[in-house]
């Protein structure tokens, strides 16, 4: 049990540790993935609480003070103020431009803010492809039959956030844990293919279940680097995907080869 708790440290350098893994339950690797995911979830939740939530609180306060009263109807968006409204955040600049006097987004308006909302459409800039995407605000024929107008204003947004905020910690923790667990599980399955190739260089070949178990522990170095980069935002720890692959592949090779029993007493 003590070795398992110290596994994030021992798996970085200890050949003895990898040899001991061969005598333990093969299901321990899956439990270790859950352990790593738990550490990532705790760190991610802590980071969200101290950094993201305070910034979100400030953003909600800004939205409450600046957003006009909006009514989403079956025919599109209605706004009490008919003139165009530009919401400019003091830190992030022009965010939302409301122009309910127009139906289709105009090219000139698309340059005024990150998000453009007309009476019937919303357009936003996709930073990944540096282009705009346009979606309709008008519900389909089936949805219009049971449509109920939705009113949104500053107090509505603030009230919604106040109800949601107490649950954010649990939701973020669950999200981080589930994503990290399946992410590392999938990574372990992929890197175990490298372990199979390295297995041919062993004097005594391992069954796949042992290779998979060792591979899960060999994910530790890159996981710790990712953990540190999240928890220490003031310290930039660049890790290119190719570098991460090489580091993990090297540790898989180390785990598979170092787990061989020595012929000489240690």
Domain ranges of the chain: 2-50+168-258, 68-152
The per-residue pLDDT for 235 is 61
Checking if the pLDDT of 116 tops 80, the result is yes
Tokens found for residue 25: 């339950």
Which carries the bigger pLDDT value, residue 146 or residue 26?
146
Checking if the pLDDT of 39 tops 80, the result is yes
Q: Residue 165 — very low, low, confident or very high, per pLDDT cuts 50/70/90?
A: very high
| % of the chain residues with pLDDT over 90 | 52
The per-residue pLDDT for 265 is 44
The phi-psi region of residue 93 (left if phi > 0; otherwise alpha if psi is between -120 and 50; otherwise beta) is left
pTM comes to 0.79
Q: Which residues contact 166 (CB under 8 A, 6 or more apart)?
A: none
Checking if the pLDDT of 234 tops 80, the result is no
Report how far residue 93's alpha carbon sits from residue 84's, in angstroms, rounded to the nearest whole number. Answer: 17
Coil/strand/helix, residue 58: helix
Tokens found for residue 124: 């936003």
Give the helix/strand (H/E) hosting 46. Answer: helix 28-47
User: Whose CA is closest to 41, among 239, 245, 230?
Assistant: 230
Question: Tell me: the pLDDT tens digits for 47-98?
Answer: 899 889 999 999 999 999 999 999 998 888 998 777 899 999 999 899 999 9
């Amino acid at each position: 049990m003590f070795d398992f708790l110290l596994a994030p440290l021992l798996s970085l350098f200890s050949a003895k540790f990898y040899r001991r893994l061969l005598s333990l339950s093969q299901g321990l690797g899956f439990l270790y993935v859950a352990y790593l995911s738990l550490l990532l979830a705790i760190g991610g939740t802590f980071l969200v609480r101290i950094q993201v939530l305070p910034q979100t609180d400030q953003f909600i306060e800004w939205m409450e003070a600046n957003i006009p009263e909006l009514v989403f109807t079956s025919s599109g968006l209605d706004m009490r103020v008919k003139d165009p409204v530009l919401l400019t955040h003091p830190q992030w600049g022009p965010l939302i431009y409301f122009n309910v006097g127009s139906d289709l987004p105009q090219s000139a308006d698309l340059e005024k803010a990150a998000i453009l909302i007309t009476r019937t459409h919303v357009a936003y800039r996709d930073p990944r492809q540096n282009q705009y995407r346009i979606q309709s605000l008008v519900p389909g024929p089936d949805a219009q039959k049971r449509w109920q107008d939705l009113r949104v204003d500053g107090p509505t947004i603030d009230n919604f956030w106040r109800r949601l905020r107490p649950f954010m910690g649990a939701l973020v923790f669950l999200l981080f844990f589930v994503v990290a667990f399946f992410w590392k599980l999938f990574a372990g399955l992929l890197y175990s293919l490298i372990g199979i190739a390295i297995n041919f260089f062993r004097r005594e070949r391992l069954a796949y279940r042992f290779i998979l178990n060792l591979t899960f522990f060999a994910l530790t170095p890159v996981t710790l680097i990712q953990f540190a980069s999240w928890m220490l935002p003031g310290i930039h720890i660049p890790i290119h995907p190719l570098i991460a692959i090489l580091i993990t592949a090297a540790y898989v090779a180390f785990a598979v080869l170092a787990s061989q029993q020595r012929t000489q007493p240690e």
